[in-house]
């Protein structure tokens, strides 16, 4: 187990999860401008797959509220947020979240992710999700990682399958996406399934 969950506190950026070409760390205040620019230029690309954006979605104040929520969730052990950066030039690529961490007899959480339009389709998210698995299964000690995507989101289905997720079924009107309740395909990977730290390029 790493020291990722120990001091310094979540969000300090002191700990990094490393993929082949991608690094993951908690979002920080200094990331706002890059995050807002990437999200703004990718809005048309992202909105079909996401909940409806708030009117102040990309403002600095909204970002600060987001960071406070991330920090609170991490302190309470309910969820963890990451930004993905290309290691060669530290460019922000996208983000990943672990949410709804459940303990007891369940020991699971849910994965969500987004990628900026100009970085999509280059294997970065496959690398990022693979880098996240040791954190989920070793640091957090969870048994199961779940993910859901729209049935026609071929790119997202490809990421999950390449990493080793198994498709488990269809959930009707599972999430409210782009203003409407939509069916989703459910995927999961277990800590007993084949998985490892990234060791090769895709």
Q: What is the pLDDT of residues 26-59, one digit of tens each?
A: 999 999 999 999 999 999 999 999 999 999 999 9
Q: Say how many Å lie between the first and final Cα of the chain, rounded.
A: 27
Q: What is the pLDDT of residue 8?
A: 46
pLDDT at 151 over 60: yes
Tokens in use for 64? 């600060």
pLDDT at 9 over 70: no
8 Å CB contact between 74 and 135: no
Q: What is the pLDDT of residue 11?
A: 57
Q: How many other CB atoms are found less than 10 A from the CB of residue 111?
A: 22
Q: What is the pLDDT of residue 72?
A: 96
Residue 107: left if φ>0, alpha if ψ -120 to 50, beta else—which one?
Answer: left
User: What are the two backbone dihedrals, phi and then psi, of residue 129, each rounded to the nearest 5 degrees?
Assistant: -65, -40
CA distances from 121 to 56, 114, 160 (A): 28, 12, 13
> What residues does each domain of the chain span?
17-143
Measuring CA to CA, which residue among 49, 141, 152, 142 is closest to residue 95?
Answer: 49
Q: How confident is the model at residue 201 (pLDDT cuts 50, 70, 90)?
A: very low
pLDDT at 170 over 60: yes
CA 99 – CA 80 distance, rounded (Å): 7
Fold of 17-143: Aminopeptidase (3.40.630)
Q: Write down the mean pLDDT value for the chain.
A: 91
CA distances from 159 to 24, 62, 115, 196 (A): 17, 29, 12, 15
């Amino acid at each position: 187990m790493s020291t990722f969950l120990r001091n310094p506190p979540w969000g300090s950026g002191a700990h990094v999860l490393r993929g082949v070409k991608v690094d993951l760390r908690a979002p920080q205040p200094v990331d706002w401008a890059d995050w807002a620019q990437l999200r703004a230029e990718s809005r048309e690309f992202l909105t079909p797959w996401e909940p409806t954006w708030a009117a102040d979605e990309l403002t600095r104040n909204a970002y600060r509220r987001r960071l406070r929520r991330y920090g609170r969730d991490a302190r309470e052990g309910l969820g963890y947020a990451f930004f993905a950066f290309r290691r060669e030039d530290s460019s922000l690529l996208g983000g990943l979240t672990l949410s709804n961490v459940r303990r007891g007899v369940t020991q699971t959480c849910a994965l969500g992710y987004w990628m900026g339009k100009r970085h999509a389709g280059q294997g970065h998210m496959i690398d990022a999700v693979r880098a996240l698995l040791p954190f989920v299964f070793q640091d957090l000690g969870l048994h199961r990682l779940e993910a859901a995507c729209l049935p026609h989101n071929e790119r997202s289905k490809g990421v999950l399958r390449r990493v080793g997720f198994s498709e488990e079924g269809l959930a009707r009107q599972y999430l409210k996406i782009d203003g409407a309740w939509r069916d989703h395909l459910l995927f999961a990977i277990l800590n007993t399934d084949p998985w490892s730290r990234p060791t090769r390029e895709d």
